[in-house]
A and B are shown apart, each in its own frame.
Chain A
């Protein structure tokens, strides 16, 4: 299975919004509403921030939102804050007990 495609980088000023795309195929993102997003700070383990496309785990600010259209899922961070500067990875269930991650996006707060 091939990795899901994410832009290598994204940036925005504090208070602005940034949207990260995650493009797969009709066999993964397009076929299942099992897209998750993870936030990772340098040297730390990833943290789940979105699951089943648009559901936020308890404790994740509502500045984070998720959506999906066709084979592309998206994560939007509204009201960007300095603490949002991190790497973000998407993942999708790909059928037949397989899972695929995205290539990762580094978000910079200008």
Chain B
């Protein structure tokens, strides 16, 4: 059974940093691209970032490019998101998401975690 368990969310002040983690199990982690998708309270889904199976190809949404960094450790079956220069508009539930493919091309999100909540407030 595929499991994606996010952690690292919490309350942080604007301008500070956070590192989200996602522990994956139930599938061969290094065979698939992975993504972060966020959802602000009561709002729609927003693709944040994606990384190919071998970390060669990485993409970011316009609103986070330059502030967020995605990475993965295939040996630990883990996905990460480093969030710098937090803004109030970054407040959202962050989902760790598995792709059906090895690459970001196509971006088909077949399994989702339950999310970790990031709250940004002074």
Where the two chains meet, the residues of A that have a C-beta atom closer than 8 Å to any C-beta of B are 1, 3, 32, 34, 36, 38, 40, 45-48, 51-52, 57, 89, 91, 93, 96-104
User: Is B108 a contact of A36 with CB atoms below 8 Å?
Assistant: yes
Provide the bound-state CA to CA distance between A34 and B95, in Å: 21
User: Is A102 a contact of B47 with CB atoms below 8 Å?
Assistant: no
- Output the nearest chain A residue to B115 by Cβ-Cβ distance: A45
User: Is B44 a contact of A104 with CB atoms below 8 Å?
Assistant: yes
User: Is B59 a contact of A96 with CB atoms below 8 Å?
Assistant: yes
Task: Collect the chain B residues with CB atoms within 8 Å of residue A91's CB.
Answer: 45, 47, 107, 109
Known A46-B95, A99-B35; further 5 A-B contacts with Cβ < 8 A: A45-B95, A45-B113, A48-B110, A97-B58, A101-B46
User: Is B109 a contact of A46 with CB atoms below 8 Å?
Assistant: yes
Task: Collect the chain B residues with CB atoms within 8 Å of residue A101's CB.
Answer: 37, 44-47
User: Is A97 a contact of B50 with CB atoms below 8 Å?
Assistant: yes
| Contact sample, A vs B, 15 pairs, CB 8 Å cutoff | A32-B106, A34-B106, A36-B108, A38-B45, A45-B113, A45-B115, A48-B108, A48-B110, A89-B45, A91-B45, A93-B104, A97-B50, A101-B46, A101-B47, A104-B44
User: Is A99 a contact of B59 with CB atoms below 8 Å?
Assistant: yes
For the complex, is B105 an interface residue (Cβ under 8 Å from A)? yes
